[in-house]
Amino acid sequence: MDAYTIAENVLSRLKTAPHRLLEIGAGGGSFLRRMVEKYHAVGVGVDPYVTEQQMENLALRRLPAEGIASLRQWFDLVFSVRAFHHFSDPVRCLKAMPSVIGWGGRCLLVDWVAGARTGYAERYYSLEQACDLITKAGLLILTKDRSGDIFWVTAALPFWKIGVAVNEGEKIIFPGMLGQAPKFAVYSFAADKGIELLEIRHNPYEKTLQPQKTFEVYKLIHDCQAVLSARIGKRGIPRLRDLGVKLFFARGLVQEFFQNAVLG
C-alpha cells in the first residue's frame, strides 16, 4: 500500500469522523481535498512552497511546518503524509502541536521509513526515531506500525484545556454572557487523570462593550481548546466554532458539571 492509502485506512478507524483537518506539507492539496470531501469537513493545508488559495471549505497557506502555531485555530486531526522527513525542525513542529490539536483531537504522521528505496537522496526516520521525537515533544503515542517502506504513528496531547467562565467565588459557572464573567478558571482534562485546576485568570473586559468582544475575551484563554459558559452571544458562538473551539453550556457548580458531563 502507498502512504496515502495507509493514511486513509488509519483515518477510517477513528471513532469520530474529523470535521476540521490540518495537513502539514500539503503540497498542492489534492489529498486534503479528497479528505475534506469524504468527511464533509473544513480543511487547511500548509506548505512552504504552495500557492495560497482560499475556497469554501479548504484553504492552502504558505507556511513551514514549524510555523503552524501562527494559524491560531484548532483541528480535530492534524496529519502529514510523506513530508515529515522534509521538516527543517521536526521537534519544533511537534512541540507546536498543542497550539493546533483541538479538544479530543489526534495527530497522524505517515512517511517513508529509514532504508526505503525511493530513488531520492533523502534521509528518512526509522519508526523508533520518529516515536522518540514524538515522545520528547510531549505527545502521547496511541498507535504505531510499519507496512513495507512506510511507517505511521498516531498521537494525542497528554491533556486538553477548558476555560470556564466563573463568578467571583470561582466555584459557580457565571450565569451571564461569557464576556461578562469576572474570571476564567482554566482546567486541564485527561481521560486517565480527570480534571485539574491550573489557574484563575481575570477578565479586564467584564464591563466593557465593543464589537467582536467574544474574540477579545477568548484571547484571554486562547490556549484552551474548549470553553464552558452559561451563555455566549449569537454572533460569538459561530465565531468561536469557526476557530475550532469546543463549546459546553451549563449552569450551577463547576465541579458538578465535571462530575456529570461526558467530555470526550
**Of 115, 136, 156, which residue sits at a domain end?**
156
Q: Which CATH number characterizes residue 7's domain? A: 3.40.50.150
Amino acid 79: pLDDT: 97
pLDDT digits (tens, 9 = 90+) for 202-231: 999 999 988 889 989 999 999 999 999 999
Amino acid 264: pLDDT: 65
Amino acid 118: pLDDT: 79
Amino acid 146: pLDDT: 94
Residues 6+ apart with CB under 8 A from 75: 18, 20, 21, 22, 44, 100, 101, 102, 105, 244
- pTM of structure: 0.93
Nearest to 217 by CA among 250, 175, 181: 181
Amino acid 192: pLDDT: 84
The C-alpha atoms of residue 141 and residue 153 are separated, in whole angstroms, by: 7
What is the CB-side half-sphere exposure of residue 261 using CA atoms within 13 A? 19
Amino acid 15: pLDDT: 83
Q: Are residues 166 and 125 in the same domain?
A: no
pLDDT digits (tens, 9 = 90+) for 19-74: 999 999 999 999 999 999 999 999 999 999 988 889 889 999 999 999 999 999 99
Q: Are residues 174 and 151 in the same domain?
A: no
Measured in whole angstroms, the distance separating CA 169 from the mean position of its chain's CA atoms is 31
Q: Is residue 109 within 8 Å of 142, Cβ to Cβ?
A: no
| Per-residue pLDDT at 262 exceeds 80 | no
Q: Are residues 140 and 200 in the same domain?
A: no
Residues 6+ apart with CB under 8 A from 219: none
**Of 139, 156, 173, which residue sits at a domain end?**
156
Q: Are residues 126 and 24 in the same domain?
A: yes
Q: Are residues 116 and 227 in the same domain?
A: no
Nearest-5° Cα angle at 131, 14 to 126? 110
Q: Are residues 31 and 128 in the same domain?
A: yes
Q: Are residues 164 and 120 in the same domain?
A: no
Summary mean pLDDT of the chain: 94
Q: Are residues 15 and 130 in the same domain?
A: yes
Q: Which CATH number characterizes residue 183's domain? A: 3.30.420.130
Nearest to 237 by CA among 147, 155, 177: 177
- Which structural domain range is residue 170 located in? 160-260
| Per-residue pLDDT at 130 exceeds 70 | yes
Q: Are residues 141 and 127 in the same domain?
A: yes
> How crowded is residue 174: how many other Cβ atoms within 10 Å of its Cβ?
26
Q: Are residues 14 and 136 in the same domain?
A: yes
212: cell is 467582536
Q: Please count the structural domains in the chain.
A: 2
Q: Are residues 7 and 121 in the same domain?
A: yes
Least confident of 111-120, 212-221, 241-250: 111-120
Q: Are residues 13 and 121 in the same domain?
A: yes
**Of 123, 156, 189, which residue sits at a domain end?**
156
| Per-residue pLDDT at 188 exceeds 90 | yes
